[in-house]
Amino acid sequence: MDEEEFVLNIDLHTHTNLSDGVLPPEELVKKAHKAAIKYLGIADHDTTQGLEISIDLAEKLDIELFPAIEISCKDDIHVLGYFSESMKNWNHPVLNEFLNKLQEQRRIRNSKILEKLRKLNFDIIMEDVEKHANGTVGKPHFAMALVEKGYAASIEEAMDKYLKRGRFAYVERESYVEPADVVDRLASIGAVPMIAHPGFYKNVVDDYERFFANLKERGLKGVEAFYTKATLEQSQYFAQLAEKLGLIVTGGSDFHGYPEQRLGKLYVPKRSVEDLNRFIREEEIKAEKQNYKNIRN
Ligand SMILES: [Zn+2]
Ligand SMILES: [Zn+2]
């Protein structure tokens, strides 16, 4: 294997305030620019609303933007999908219909979280939460409301004390999509599916090789082996496994705008951008051929 080159100017996984990040897309892109990021992925949870505005600004700042999405599946496994800027497949009706369904599940879950917080005698209503969100409402917006109302000193504290898995106000989603179905669906619209932060699933995945191999059959293209919370050993382990299975490797900080995850601080293999672009380009060529066929028929 060639000596792998690592760089700090690639970050293929960040969030804006259209899901559970803190910064609006424009500010995120500007912040990435300041942090000398050249290749930026924006992958909000279950929404693509922030992508077009981000692309426009990124272009002005000479950042190559990777429009993406992150979809939460069963057992809190997260699947990333990278879109093509020329195909604009984040607007695909199949995807939108699917996202609407996910949003509905989120709404149900959010009202249950609110109910639980009220059981703790917190004086809080849904408007207190929603006003912090611009699109998808999620746990960070509950955390912000708790901070604002004086029930927690910081977002992190609100998460730790009440909202994270195992705490009183944590609520599982009713029905979860299988990661394989999400991979399938993303692949079907020409998006490039990747598994996000794989080390997070060690309690639910007993055989990572089989897990990745099965998903590859459904269209998985790679693994985000490099991420903020991974140890070097973990990243190497996932990178080796990916290589063995013919999957690509990417990296991203999962930056949400809070201080503990920093842009431009994560080493990511330089070739991840080339590899990802190769797959995106393949999808574009497939779509072009399909269009050509459609025109001819
Ligand atoms: Zn995630
Ligand atoms: Zn994320």
Nearest CA-CA partner of 32 in 17, 13, 51, 46:
13
What's the mean per-residue pLDDT of the chain? 93
Domains of the chain, earliest start first: 6-92+179-296 (3.20.20.140), 99-163 (1.10.150)
| Interval between CA 254 and ligand 1 midpoint (Å) | 7
End-to-end CA distance of the chain: give it in Å, rounded. Answer: 46
Q: What is the pLDDT of residues 54-101, one digit of tens each?
A: 999 999 999 999 999 999 998 889 999 999 999 999 999 999 999 999
User: Residues whose CB is under 5 A from ligand 2 (ion)?
Assistant: 70, 254
Residues 180 and 215 sit within 8 Å (Cβ to Cβ): yes
Taking the CA of 21 as reference, the closest ligand is 2
260, pLDDT greater than 80: no
Tokens 């992508």, residue located: 51
Query: What is the chain's Cα-based Rg?
Result: 19
* 11 neighbors 38 (Cβ within 8 angstroms): no
Among the bound ligands, the one closest to the CA of 72: 1
Residue-level pLDDT at 296: 78
Q: What's the pTM value of the predicted model, to 2 decimals?
A: 0.89
98 near 205, Cβ under 8 Å? no
- Ligand 2 centroid from CA 36, angstroms: 20
The protein residues having their C-beta less than 5 angstroms from ligand 1 (an ion) are 78, 196
Q: What pLDDT shows up at residue 259?
A: 66
Amino acid 212 reads F
